[in-house]
Amino acid sequence: MEPTETRRLRAVYVISVAAELAGMHPQTLRIYERKGLVQPARTGGGSRRYSEDDIGQLRRIQDLTNEGLNLAGVKRVLELERENEALRARVAKLHETAREAVEQAHRQHRRDLVPLRQSMERYGWRPPGAR
């Protein structure tokens, strides 16, 4: 993982700070966790710790609820977005694999090409008297 991604995934914010960053009440974060909308990390003592990604997820939940979705709808949208993201990554990987296969085939065909004689010869033609 690159350093910025590691920082983004590191769970460092306590619930009060995460709630403030997301513009919510801490109790709302607890409700979202009970509903399975967000899964903060836990310390050895059981305290919640939120990452930058968790904060982004909370903001996304807030956007969806502001658009009128209930929490069940929000959960389904988030599941579909994750599935869509995974499928896009898979398609990109398949495109890359296919491109590499085509390039390999082209390289192989170039090696198989041999020069042909420049003179033309009629198929099945034999000089007179040849059998």
Is 123 within a domain? no
CATH number at residue 66: 1.10.1660.10
Is 120 within a domain? no
pLDDT tens-digit series, residues 9-26: 788 899 999 999 999 999
Is 14 within a domain? yes
What is the distance between the alpha carbons of residues 62 and 68, in angstroms, rounded to a whole number?
10
Cβ atoms of 21 and 55 within 8 Å: the answer is: yes
Is 121 within a domain? no
Which domain, by its residues, includes 18? 3-111
pTM for this structure?
0.69
Is 117 within a domain? no
Among 10-14, 36-40, 49-53, 106-110, the range scoring the smallest mean pLDDT is 106-110
Average pLDDT, the chain: 88
Is 129 within a domain? no
pLDDT tens-digit series, residues 81-119: 999 999 999 999 999 999 999 998 888 776 666 666 655
Is 57 within a domain? yes
SS in 3 state form for the chain?
A: CCHHHHHHHCCCECHHHHHHHHCCCHHHHHHHHHCCCCCCEECCCCCEEECHHHHHHHHHHHHHHHCCCCHHHHHHHHHHHHHHHHHHHHHHHHHHHHHHHHHHHHHHHHHHCCCCCCCCCCCCCCCCCCC
- Split into its structural domains, the chain has a count of 1
Is 78 within a domain? yes
Looking at residue 1, its pLDDT comes to 59
